[in-house]
Amino acid sequence: TSKGLHFVELPDTLKPQIVASLKSSSDGHPLSLSNGRAALQRNGVSRELSWTLQNETQAESMLIWHIATECLIIALPDEEATGTGSSRHREVATKLSRYCAYLMSEAPELLPGNSVDTKFILDRAMLEAREALGSGSELRGRDRLRKGGTGGSGDAAGTIFTRGLKLGAKLESVREGSLRWKLMAEFWVETILFVAPSDYAAAHMERLACGGEFLTHVWALLTHAGILTRSLEPDP
């Protein structure tokens, strides 16, 4: 089982992206929240990557993208300092990805779905990762991680971990790094907005009394805007 993930400090550049995403989502119309599908459509990869969102739970979708994000951090370390815009997008994507993993571990009651199921799905994915990588040096484990996304009989086949590896391999194949991280930053910003509405206001109020999670502040922002529920558009 997971031992708990450390708190993630989120960058200041995130707040403007949250506001920009809210504005672009409404664009003169009633605001609708996307679980990342809109980001895929805007960046022209909906057909190739829509399978990453076709899961029974939101936790599975977030874990697939979290694993893919971690793969790219390992596979593309030199991109961290390439270009101001790309670097900003990379920072937002990686920090939000890790923050969502932290929420699944430490505050699953704030996320969509049953909190016990969310923890179970997270623990299962971590077990899959340990079994897939096996023992050995960190360098050998990283090499396996980079090469592990090529197997399987279909994009949506396999465990959460192998699907995350497949997604990571597909994203790594994007030639333009700035476009890759732009897509991922937009995906994670949309995801954090999508998971913020909650039926469990008491859980958020308890967090606010202690200073509040970042997600709780997003929940409060959306609540003031009259957004109390999330809805999914049908797949195209």
Per-residue pLDDT of the chain (236 residues), as tens digits, is: 344 455 567 767 777 777 777 776 655 554 568 889 999 999 999 999 999 999 999 999 999 999 999 999 998 887 665 555 578 889 899 999 999 999 999 999 999 999 999 999 999 999 998 888 775 444 444 455 555 544 444 566 789 999 999 999 999 998 887 889 999 999 999 999 999 987 778 888 887 777 778 888 888 888 887 776 765 443 44
Given this model, what pLDDT does residue 82 score?
55
Given this model, what pLDDT does residue 156 score?
65
Given this model, what pLDDT does residue 105 score?
93
Given this model, what pLDDT does residue 4 score?
47
Given this model, what pLDDT does residue 219 score?
86
Given this model, what pLDDT does residue 31 score?
58
Given this model, what pLDDT does residue 141 score?
44
Given this model, what pLDDT does residue 6 score?
56
Q: Which of 195, 176, 214 is nearest to 63 (CA)?
A: 195
